[in-house]
Structure 1
């Protein structure tokens, strides 16, 4: 399947919504009889009804309804994919494996994560270690800057490895 993953995946620079790209890849995978990709796309699309928007009923009662395809944002779908990635990583950990074709396919639909070098460079340029007791206290600022593009455990490890300059 590794040779097929080049055509699958998504990037914001493609100029297409993630929702539309997943539907497009679903059709492509069905035509090519690529069952692994087809099943993954079905899994993601099957979670779309979980994306809801809060509403207030006429009685004043609070409720939710599923978002329409036009209302679903790239961020909504990325959160679903992150949830699947998290569960796959747990399974791989139990199996004592590091990666799978399924995991790589899911990751191809998320924005590229910040590298350790990018995080470290940003920390050196923007964090004043004299204002904090321990480097890990700067974690909030780092995570606020990188958001979901940085893994919290990776940031923590980088910060713990940095000694405050005194």
Structure 2
């Protein structure tokens, strides 16, 4: 089952369990899905929407001088496991020859293509700068 359908199924489950916070978070997500031109979204598109919502909520919280939110925790639960720095470094060492690139940052494209949404671009950039 793809991520979009799994999240939509969570709405029914959260309603049955009377979990108001999860219900509210899932409704926001489903609302964002419905605003997209394509009604059937890929997992990468769903992850991008979730990350956008998390970023927006984080900015609102920091502007209000608060930190942490149940809404953010619920949304983060739908994100795929993030690759850690050691995994990324190991993959780069085994698969990327940095000498083939005029600039180390040009290696970002194949690295991000391999890891997809499971690696943060800022983390990959920092790792490449350390090489």
TM bin (shorter chain): 0.7 to 0.9
Structure 2: how far apart are the matches of 1:136 and 1:96?
35
Comparing 41-50 with 78-87, which one deviates more in the overlay?
A: 78-87
Q: Which has the higher strand share?
A: 1
Contact 1:51 1:76 in 2 (8 A): no
| Larger of the two Rg values belongs to structure | 1
Structure 2: how far apart are the matches of 1:153 and 1:121?
17
| Counterpart among 24, 27, 35 of residue 20 in structure 2 | 35
**Unaligned 5+ runs, structure 2:** none
Structure 1: how far apart are the matches of 2:113 and 2:48?
17
How many residue pairs are counted as aligned between the two chains?
130
TM-score by length of 1: 0.66
**Unaligned 5+ runs, structure 1:** 1-15, 54-66
RMSD of the alignment, in Å?
2.3
CA drift at 1:134:
4.5
Paired position in structure 2 for 1:155 = 124
| Counterpart among 19, 24, 47 of residue 78 in structure 1 | 47
C-alpha deviations, 1:6-49, integer Å up to 9, x for none?
Answer: xxxxxxxxxx3323322332122222222111100110111222
SS at match of 1:122: helix
Paired position in structure 1 for 2:7 = 22
| Counterpart among 101, 106, 116 of residue 137 in structure 1 | 106
Paired position in structure 1 for 2:29 = 44
